[in-house]
Amino acid sequence: MSASYWDSSQRHKWQYSRESLARARHKLWLLECQLYPQGTNITMENSGKDSQPVTKNIPITHRDLHYDRDYNLRIYCYFLIMKLGRRLNVRQYALATAHVYLSRFCLKASIREVNLYLLVTTCIYLACKVEECPQHIRTLVNEARSLWPEFVPPDPTKVTEFEFYLIEELQSYMIVHYPYRSMEQIANSLQKEPYNLVLSQDDMQNSWSLINDSYITDVHLLYAPHVIAMACLFITVCLRTNNSHASQSNQTIFNRFMADSQVDLQEVMDTIQDFVTLYDHWDKYNEPWIKFLLHNLYLRPHAATNTITAASLNPINTSNSALGSNGSALTSGT
């Protein structure tokens, strides 16, 4: 265990450059192409005159069900962890750890070869133990089954078996450092001379929400926690800036602080760009479609009754957009 990020396994074992991350994912993608060359067959309702279901093949080269390319899948995984975590009143730090575990695991294994719902349950179970807020396994499994009864088996030993598999893929490096503490440290530093910039409670809450959303992206595999925290605070200060002199002054002060801090500005800007990409995809989030794909994937013997209308093929179906019309950060600190 390391109390310092700079000496931690997160930095030395689980931090990638964008190039090395792309190579790792390409290796997994090639493996998926070998294991599942036939792709995925799905059955949809036919809106034509005949009511016979239509079978459609999704090639393995399509982005669907590839964690690195399918933002529908990423956002859905995020919601799964948050939904189960809130049912169990799990601390946000433990949920953040679970998000990181899932991201790391999906670098090593395909969603097609594991039960995603069991993976989410196991990530939370292991994260709670590591973060010293353990959950009784029967309580965890019962809550998971209340949410996803067709996917989570009633036998708690299935979670413990998956736990060993998860630990193996994580190479037993399970300590995770978060941007939350860095955000608080940066906010405290901004209050001191010569900056004298006091962030409001709303500013801190918005930054916390942005950090929560950042776990959908790759930034926790790429950058140090303080870089992510700096990017979230920068976005918060920018969003509250208007034409008033005071707001423009706050932006100038924060920009000067970033320059004085010697943080890698390119990494901060790349993190901000990842947020822009995330929220662009979030506007197109189609939960019924990803739920249907996973249902078809895991319950294939019952595929004849597993149908969806052709309208749901369109990923722009956003009647229940996760962010709402303004694309604001969804979650808040707990």
At the topology level, CATH places domain 76-170 in Cyclin A; domain 1 (1.10.472)
Low-confidence ranges of the chain (pLDDT < 70): 1-2, 46-51, 241-247, 300-334
Nearest CA among 224, 212, 84, 83 for reference residue 142: 84
Domain ranges of the chain: 76-170, 179-282
Q: What is the pLDDT of residues 305-328, one digit of tens each?
A: 344 444 444 443 333 333 333 333
The pLDDT score that the predictor gives to residue 304 is 35
The pLDDT score that the predictor gives to residue 300 is 67
**Fold: same for 76-170 and 179-282:** yes
The pLDDT score that the predictor gives to residue 58 is 87
Summary mean pLDDT of the chain: 87
* CA 200 from centroid of its chain's CA atoms: 27
- CA contacts within 13 A on the Cβ side of 229: 18
Architecture per CATH, domain 179-282, reads as Orthogonal Bundle (1.10)
The pLDDT score that the predictor gives to residue 42 is 82
Structure tokens at 277: 């990409």
The pLDDT score that the predictor gives to residue 41 is 83
- DSSP code, position 300: G
The pLDDT score that the predictor gives to residue 325 is 31
Nearest CA among 296, 281, 254 for reference residue 69: 281
Determine the 3-state secondary structure of 57 from DSSP.
Answer: strand
The pLDDT score that the predictor gives to residue 44 is 73
- CB-based contacts of 325: which residues, under 8 Å, 6+ apart? none
